[in-house]
Structure 1
Amino acid sequence: MPKSQKSASDALQLQVDVLVLGGGPSAAWAAVAAAESGAKVVLADKGYLGTSGATAPSNTGTWCVPPGDNRHAVVERRWQRTGELADQRWMLRCVDTAYRNLLRLSEWGYPFPSEDDGRLYIANLRGPDYMRFMRRRVLLAGVTVLDHHPALELLSDGDAIVGAAGVARQAGHDWRVEAGAVVLATGGCAFRERILGGTGLTGDGYLMAAEAGARLSGMEFTGKYTLAPYGSSLNKGLPFRWASFHREDGSPILGSTGEPLRNGIGDREEEVARALIDGPVHARLDQAEPALQGWLRQGQPNCFVPYDRAGIDPFSELFRITLRAEGTVRGTGGIDIVSDDCATGVPGLYAAGDAASREIVTGAVSGGGAVNSSWALASGWWAGKGASTHAKRRSGKAFRGAAQPLGQAGLRPAAAPRAGIAAGEVIEAVRNEVTPLDKNFFRDGGRLEKSSERLESIWRDVRDHLRGEGADRIRTREAASIAAVGRWSVAAALHRTESRGMHRRVDLPGKNPALAHRLIVTGVDEFRIEGAPGRLAELAS
């Protein structure tokens, strides 16, 4: 058990080997891996481990590639779709570790379904069952779980990251955990868009990491959107493969070929997006044969809850649709990792899952629910092992009482706090620049310049004047994180002067061979973007 004590202010204080921040699959795998390596581990989740995050409410596939000669061919084919930015060595490591961990799940007793020949079908994970199972496994490994304990900031002793501090949301007191190493598995940033499990995905880990000196990469690749029934948070696009699309008067929408638009996923998403910019769009799943309709209802049951509640038969009736922005949740950006154990380059700090950049395995295209799921299985394992090893190297070193909190924006403003700045208004102002289809799905240099200017202005107000008290710090810190992520994302999109993957520049429609490399963002208030080799673009607020 971790050492613990209560201060005079009744704040919880713990000392452990490894602290994991987050509550999705990568956090669970990191906690188990660290505990199985002999570390004393605390996992602190913003929500409730097992129900929070994007995986828990979803039916998620995996990139499941068994060992054998075909594995290299599968990776090569996938790499061809990544915009030349992924790394095949990392892709192979990912499928190998993910496959091993899927087998571990089976050995631990996870109830995989059986195929007709009796073999277990391990390629698919039912989100609610999977995360409930992983919670039990985390507790069985001896990990101390702190539910509803959002982290606000990292702690540093001047040489390394030595813990984190936050708020116990339900108990109402502060908490502080000193640790030999910290794993950031805090998920991506959904910019408060209504998507399944996206409420708590506000980019907190990105800001904490950047404040500690870590770098970010892939931040320009936030142009992933998924179709959903209008007014619903159900961003599950698969059924729209069998949809036809219509204008508000019921007339069919014509695609680029002049034929009625069918199948709204994959390459056809651009055509749906253009139609949505013009006006309301309705869909009908009338391309699905009766047998397929039954399969869809059985395989994707939560996809049909909004229709059933509204009394709509989506296979025969028109219903209004929208495209939901998914930020870095199904984008690729995040904390840059610098070694095989998911270290960030900042001593004592590791990153996993959507908190980490997935460019090395997905490149410029979305990892969706398959590659991203396997990445969570693998990166969580690597980060937990790496953090445990680092903590063992620190073993015997006393925790310094002078460990300093690193949080700034939203916690410790650079100037006088101003009551007129509200966290909700900050978030809405950022959303106005990073979620509209005509600004983020289809990008243009002029519009990006204007958005960048607005986001810089928002950031200055946040940096200088936004501060919360007590539990309100959770909200102000989330607003600061969303503002920071929006700012980095738009700046990186402006810097990538081409179109590649989900980064679509209508003013620069082709790929530039000279830009077949990653863009690295370093810094918070004043940051720089590493562009073409040997060149730095300086960006100051």
Structure 2
Amino acid sequence: MTTAHDVVLVGGGGAGLRAAIAIAEARPELDVAVVSKVYPMRSHTVSAEGGAAGVIGADDSLDEHIYDTISGSDWLADQDAVEMFVEEAPRELIRLEHWGCPWSREPDGRVAVRPFGGMKKQRTWFAADKTGFHMLHTLFQTSLKYGTIHRYDEWFVTKLVVDDGVIQGVVAIELSTGRIETMTAKAVILATGGCGRVFPFTTNAAIKTGDGMSLAYRAGAPLKDMEFVQYHPTGLPFTGILITEAARAEGGWLLNKDGYRYLQDYDLGKPEPTPVLRSMELGPRDRLSQAFVHEVEEGRAIDTPYGPAVHLDLRHLGAKVIDAKIPFVRELCLKYQNVDPAAELVQVRPVVHYMMGGVHTDIHGATPVKGLYAAGEVACVSINGANRLGSNSLPELLVFGARAGRAAAEYAAGASGPTRAGLRQADDEHRRIWRELRGREPNGNERIADLREQMQHTMEGGAGIYRTGDSLTKAVDTLHEFQGRRDQARIEDHSHTFNTELLTFLELSAMLDVAETIVYSALRREESRGAHQRTDYSARDNDRFLAHSLAHRASDGSCQIRYLPVTITRWPVGERVYGR
């Protein structure tokens, strides 16, 4: 079956909904499809807690936000993209308020802002500690105003249809019926989020399996800066549930097993010693996660059934402050750890949180594949470089979701429909799913769950917080082996209705693609920069690696790495500092 749309959006979270609204506003005559493997309000944007950065205070400036972002990125961010992002972020946040987002306020009515990791000034807007929840509600409700936006909830896209370098549409499966459909489009926007599930311990929801990155990679768009994987320093052991940076912004402390605020012993890139005890917990996320590893190596971490941990201490804040500023933190700790942070210490450890890398795009969200765009965590513009600053990701999905939507709308308004060759590709994809997956014999010698778990532990061991050439080489070889073993995976469920086994097989295929680009990119980058730390190359090397890595899929399926210079505008490369 075939349906026709002008623009197809893959992903119904914050970036996808913002893009859909931008299309409807810019070109109300265009037909827009939002294809999401979950109901939009279950997209991972809903999980964001801490806030969204945007300059609003009289003591702040755009240049200061720009510099914090560039320095925090370890000078790998493209400065033209950062300048544009910082300028547009406050406008997007104000627009969101006009649509109904309930930003927290000061007693005098001004928008409340809080400090966040790596930011010198208080510029993080928040809605208590359920910021993503309120942002996503606002975007979803606003999208309902437009009759030209059509939703395909609980559909999974299996292929981008591309003919001669031009996008033609997508092929997708309806999860509730197993129906396979070709959706033709003049433009496609990927907004599927990140791929944290390639690691075993992550804050990411189960849906974040790198689907959009894999779709673009297989369609000919390179993946950029995939070696940069951000660990958040405070996840709950066992579950990986995030304890937001807002907990430390409100005054929380990180303590080792001796009750000592250990971060004062580490270089967080902060040049002046005076305020270190006050704000060291708000150092950049990569530095805090690396400090945790050293505490473990020195025997100063806490042993738990789920690995080493340290303590997050919020007791001195008191129940009143916690309930007013970070109530969700208290709720999560009580429900999932049976610990009340107002009276007890909370065990935490670093956990994979965010991908700085993603589909290579320009500042309009356009990829090298004509008519294909990307926005949000699935994309890499790049404004995050080697390390994303806390609270930059939510305004990023707004700014670049809107820009990608407007650019895709203008392109689609003048583009032609699908080609015969494109439609034949789509037919081939229909047959592949039926023949190779649904018709697969149930006696294969590999279990999908076993392969996924082995892949995750390979990634943690080979490309975790610290990497070496040996660990990465071993991971490359193991992942290559997994690609072959995947073809031997069995699918025992041949039913049509909510065939989750088929879905997990398709997700595993995407994760293996993405995992391979991470380890190949990390192996080639022989330096340490931001979240990419090589113990065999411990220094930053600007002569060789002040450049973006681009992972291309070759015709034989192998991963090839090329490099693209970083865009420098007004800020020459310097020492990475925090809190200047």
TM-score under structure 1 normalisation? 0.84
CA deviations on 1:328-386 (whole Å, 9 max, x unpaired) are xx23010001x33211110121111011015x211111243x11111100111111111
1:446 aligns with 2:470: yes
Cα distance change on mapping 1:349 and 1:466 into 2, 3 Å: farther
Q: Which amino acid aligns with 1:459?
A: Q
Cα distance change on mapping 1:129 and 1:366 into 2, 3 Å: same
Q: Which amino acid aligns with 1:147?
A: D
Cα distance change on mapping 1:442 and 1:66 into 2, 3 Å: same
- Structure 1 residue 443 displacement after superposition: 0.9
Measure the CA separation in 2 of the matches of 1:110 and 1:315.
28
CA deviations on 1:82-137 (whole Å, 9 max, x unpaired) are 22211221112112333222222233333334333323458225222221221121
Measure the CA separation in 2 of the matches of 1:271 and 1:65.
30
- Structure 1 residue 159 displacement after superposition: 4.6
CA deviations on 1:471-503 (whole Å, 9 max, x unpaired) are 333211100111111111011111110100111
Measure the CA separation in 1 of the matches of 2:340 and 2:97.
38
- Equivalent residue number for residue 424 of structure 1: 449
Cα distance change on mapping 1:14 and 1:60 into 2, 3 Å: farther
> Contact 1:284/1:314 (CA < 8 Å) preserved in 2?
no
Q: Tell me the C-alpha RMSD between the 2 structures.
A: 3.2
CA deviations on 1:132-175 (whole Å, 9 max, x unpaired) are 22112112122111111121111234452111122211233223
> Contact 1:426/1:483 (CA < 8 Å) preserved in 2?
no
Q: Which amino acid aligns with 1:17?
A: D
- What is the aligned counterpart of 2:384 among 362, 367, 371? 362
Q: Which amino acid aligns with 1:146?
A: Y
- Equivalent residue number for residue 110 of structure 1: 101
- Equivalent residue number for residue 273 of structure 1: 293
- Equivalent residue number for residue 402 of structure 1: 423
The alignment partner of 1:402 has SS state of helix
Measure the CA separation in 2 of the matches of 1:398 and 1:284.
59
The alignment partner of 2:168 has SS state of strand
1:169 aligns with 2:175: yes
Alignment of 1:208-287 (within 5 A): 208-238=215-245, 239=247, 242-247=252-257, 257=265, 263=281, 266=284, 267-276=287-296, 280=303, 281-286=308-313
- Equivalent residue number for residue 376 of structure 2: 353
> Contact 1:364/1:501 (CA < 8 Å) preserved in 2?
yes
- Equivalent residue number for residue 272 of structure 2: none
Measure the CA separation in 2 of the matches of 1:19 and 1:532.
29
Q: Which amino acid aligns with 2:468?
A: D
- Equivalent residue number for residue 18 of structure 2: 29
Measure the CA separation in 1 of the matches of 2:503 and 2:339.
39
- Equivalent residue number for residue 51 of structure 2: 61
- Equivalent residue number for residue 400 of structure 2: 379
- Structure 1 residue 461 displacement after superposition: 2.6
The alignment partner of 1:362 has SS state of coil
Measure the CA separation in 2 of the matches of 1:83 and 1:149.
38
CA deviations on 1:441-473 (whole Å, 9 max, x unpaired) are 1111111111111111112333x4457565333
Measure the CA separation in 1 of the matches of 2:333 and 2:165.
55
- Equivalent residue number for residue 192 of structure 2: 186
- Equivalent residue number for residue 518 of structure 2: 489
> Contact 1:285/1:315 (CA < 8 Å) preserved in 2?
no
> Contact 1:56/1:197 (CA < 8 Å) preserved in 2?
no
CA deviations on 1:415-457 (whole Å, 9 max, x unpaired) are x977223222221111012224x75111111111111111111
Q: More relative contact order in 1 or in 2 (CA 8 Å, sep 6+)?
A: 2
The alignment partner of 1:313 has SS state of coil
Q: Which amino acid aligns with 1:372?
A: S
- Structure 1 residue 323 displacement after superposition: 2.3
Cα distance change on mapping 1:285 and 1:223 into 2, 3 Å: closer
- What is the aligned counterpart of 1:344 among 351, 357, 367? 367
- Equivalent residue number for residue 527 of structure 1: 559
- What is the aligned counterpart of 1:459 among 470, 483, 488? 483
Measure the CA separation in 2 of the matches of 1:396 and 1:528.
32
The alignment partner of 2:255 has SS state of strand
- What is the aligned counterpart of 2:8 among 19, 24, 39? 19
Q: Which amino acid aligns with 1:296?
A: I
> Contact 1:157/1:402 (CA < 8 Å) preserved in 2?
no
Alignment of 1:511-522 (within 5 A): 511-514=540-543, 515-522=545-552
The alignment partner of 1:92 has SS state of helix
- Structure 1 residue 516 displacement after superposition: 0.9
Deviates further, 95-104 or 281-290 = 281-290
Measure the CA separation in 2 of the matches of 1:303 and 1:431.
27
- Structure 1 residue 224 displacement after superposition: 2.2
CA deviations on 1:480-532 (whole Å, 9 max, x unpaired) are 11111111101111111010011111111111122111111111612210148
- Structure 1 residue 252 displacement after superposition: 5.7
- Equivalent residue number for residue 3 of structure 1: none
Measure the CA separation in 2 of the matches of 1:477 and 1:519.
26
- Equivalent residue number for residue 83 of structure 2: 92
Cα distance change on mapping 1:482 and 1:85 into 2, 3 Å: same
> Contact 1:413/1:467 (CA < 8 Å) preserved in 2?
no
> Contact 1:226/1:237 (CA < 8 Å) preserved in 2?
no
Measure the CA separation in 1 of the matches of 2:288 and 2:104.
33
Measure the CA separation in 2 of the matches of 1:254 and 1:375.
32
Cα distance change on mapping 1:319 and 1:455 into 2, 3 Å: same
Q: Which runs of 5+ in 2 are unaligned?
A: 114-124, 267-276, 566-580
The alignment partner of 1:404 has SS state of helix
CA deviations on 1:185-207 (whole Å, 9 max, x unpaired) are 01110126454552100000111
Give the percent of matched residue pairs that are identical in Structure 1 and Structure 2.
24
Cα distance change on mapping 1:454 and 1:253 into 2, 3 Å: farther
> Contact 1:178/1:399 (CA < 8 Å) preserved in 2?
no
- Equivalent residue number for residue 324 of structure 2: 298
- Structure 1 residue 306 displacement after superposition: 3.8
Cα distance change on mapping 1:402 and 1:500 into 2, 3 Å: same
Measure the CA separation in 1 of the matches of 2:351 and 2:224.
23
Q: Which amino acid aligns with 1:433?
A: T
The alignment partner of 2:559 has SS state of strand
Measure the CA separation in 2 of the matches of 1:480 and 1:286.
41
- Equivalent residue number for residue 207 of structure 1: 214
- Structure 1 residue 269 displacement after superposition: 2.6
- What is the aligned counterpart of 1:41 among 15, 26, 32? 32
Measure the CA separation in 2 of the matches of 1:334 and 1:475.
21
TM-score under structure 2 normalisation? 0.79
Q: Which amino acid aligns with 2:466?
A: F
Q: Which amino acid aligns with 1:519?
A: S
Cα distance change on mapping 1:264 and 1:89 into 2, 3 Å: closer
